[in-house]
Amino acid sequence: MPPILQSVPPVRWAPAAALRARLSPVRALLPGLLLTGALAAAAMGFAQLGWLDRHGISALTLAIVLGMVVGNTRLGQAIEPARAGVDFSRQRLLRLGIVLYGIRLTVQDMAHVGLEAVLVDALMLSSTFALALLAGVRLLRIDRDTAILIGAGSSICGAAAVMATQPVLRARAQQVAVAVATVVVFGTAGLFLYPLIYDALASLPALAMSPQQYGVFAGSTIHEVAQVVAAGRAISAQAADTAVVAKMGRVMMLAPFLLMLSAWLARGSRKGQAASAALGSGVAVPWFALGFVAVMLFHSAVALPPSWVAFVNAFDTGVLAMAMAGLGLTTHASAIRRAGVRPLAMASLLFVWLVVGGFAVNRWLMGTLG
């Protein structure tokens, strides 16, 4: 080779190298995204099966169960190469799912509920969450984050509220799993119990409920949206419609709840940290809560085609199911066992309040304002 050519450095195709460098993070995420996507797809398919669909077992619940099954078996030992994508699903996709959850609501929906139902929702949310803090932290000595997560799931909208509260608290996966488990247990119990309560009270004129009253009662106290639908359908179409709208009122309160919770956490942080410092650390104002409100307001102001709304709802369910699958994959059964019976005792106390106290609040407030 001529000397002049020996001095020429080898030519490298810079654009190709740059493209490979940019695609490297994507390749790292791909195995985990495929895994959580497959589990989410399976959960969404199972949720449409007859018995599961009739009894309000949602795709989100099934996704975390499937994730825990895989994560706590020999298969779980082989998912380390997928860790980055799994973490991306349970953290980043979760926030996206909460933002898109706003498409399920409009301000107009609240107009159909009525002032009475909105007040019932607000009173049940605040009283249930206050009871969670009192009973969980002070009486049962449960760690604060677990008590808050269980309280959020019980008082607002089940697993979705637990998942939305997790990044505000920066709670561990095991704490979230314990909270979701209580929602599954007592929410499922509620969808069977509420129709029995309606039938039992039908013979007592002083306590009997109309289908609409029953719908507000169910929507303001049952944990999950899917469970509310199932409990309402067990009585009548009118009861189901009213229950869903009342439940949506609680869901709409998720964003202001998160904002108030984050402000409370920032105010109570150690060493008197200022709210601006908390904001800088990502704790004070959860941006996804603001995104939730923005999407809801946009849907209220713009008449979107029903097919678009249905598509976004289905996509959002898939995104949230992937987040739940990621959570399940990183949750170990031993950690849940170590949590003991206290979280279950706390959740059972909240469930009793939701049923008994919720019925009393509904009768009193609806009677006073009706």
Q: How many CB atoms lie within 10 A of CB 204?
A: 8
In the predicted structure, residue 272 carries a pLDDT above the cut 60: no
- The two three-digit tokens of residue 191, written as one number: 């969808």
Q: Which tops the pLDDT comparison, 286 or 118? A: 118
In the predicted structure, residue 14 carries a pLDDT above the cut 60: no
Q: What is the pLDDT, as a whole number, of residue 281?
A: 42
- Give 284's pLDDT tier (boundaries 50, 70, 90): very low
Q: Which residue pairs, CB below 8 angstroms and at least 24 apart, start in 5-12? A: none
Yes or no: say if 258 and 94 are a contact pair by the CB < 8 Å rule: no
In the predicted structure, residue 279 carries a pLDDT above the cut 50: no
Which stretch of 6-10, 66-70, 199-203, 235-239 has the lowest confidence by average pLDDT? 6-10
Q: What is the pLDDT, as a whole number, of residue 188?
A: 78
In the predicted structure, residue 151 carries a pLDDT above the cut 90: yes
Q: What is the pLDDT, as a whole number, of residue 108?
A: 76
Render 92-132 in DSSP notation, one character per residue. IIHHHHHHHGGGG--HHHHHHH-HHHHHHHHHHHHHHHHHH
In the predicted structure, residue 276 carries a pLDDT above the cut 60: no
Q: Which residue pairs, CB below 8 angstroms and at least 24 apart, start in 352-358? A: 353/127, 353/128, 353/131, 354/124, 354/128, 354/154, 354/190, 354/221, 354/222, 355/190, 355/193, 355/197, 355/221, 357/124, 357/127, 358/124, 358/217, 358/220, 358/221
Yes or no: say if 196 and 218 are a contact pair by the CB < 8 Å rule: no
Q: Which tops the pLDDT comparison, 339 or 88? A: 88
In the predicted structure, residue 214 carries a pLDDT above the cut 70: yes
- Give 60's pLDDT tier (boundaries 50, 70, 90): confident
**Average pLDDT for 26-43:** 89
**Average pLDDT for 48-75:** 79
Yes or no: say if 40 and 60 are a contact pair by the CB < 8 Å rule: no
Which stretch of 267-276, 285-294, 353-362 has the lowest confidence by average pLDDT? 267-276
**Average pLDDT for 74-78:** 66
| Counts for the chain of helices (H) and strands (E), in that order | 21, 0
Task: Report how far residue 182's alpha carbon sits from residue 223's, in angstroms, rounded to the nearest whole number.
Answer: 10
User: What are the structural domain ranges in the chain?
Assistant: 33-73+84-369
Q: What is the pLDDT of residues 296-331, one digit of tens each?
A: 889 889 888 999 999 998 998 899 889 888 878 877
In the predicted structure, residue 278 carries a pLDDT above the cut 60: no
Q: What is the pLDDT, as a whole number, of residue 220?
A: 93
Considering 13-27, 203-217, 347-361, the range whose residues carry the highest mean pLDDT is 347-361
What's the CA angle centered on 177, arms 171 and 181, to 5 degrees?
135
Q: How many CB atoms lie within 10 A of CB 84?
A: 17
Task: Report how far residue 123's alpha carbon sits from residue 145's, in angstroms, rounded to the nearest whole number.
Answer: 22
Q: Which tops the pLDDT comparison, 40 or 105? A: 40
Q: What is the pLDDT, as a whole number, of residue 273?
A: 47
- Give 205's pLDDT tier (boundaries 50, 70, 90): confident
In the predicted structure, residue 282 carries a pLDDT above the cut 50: no
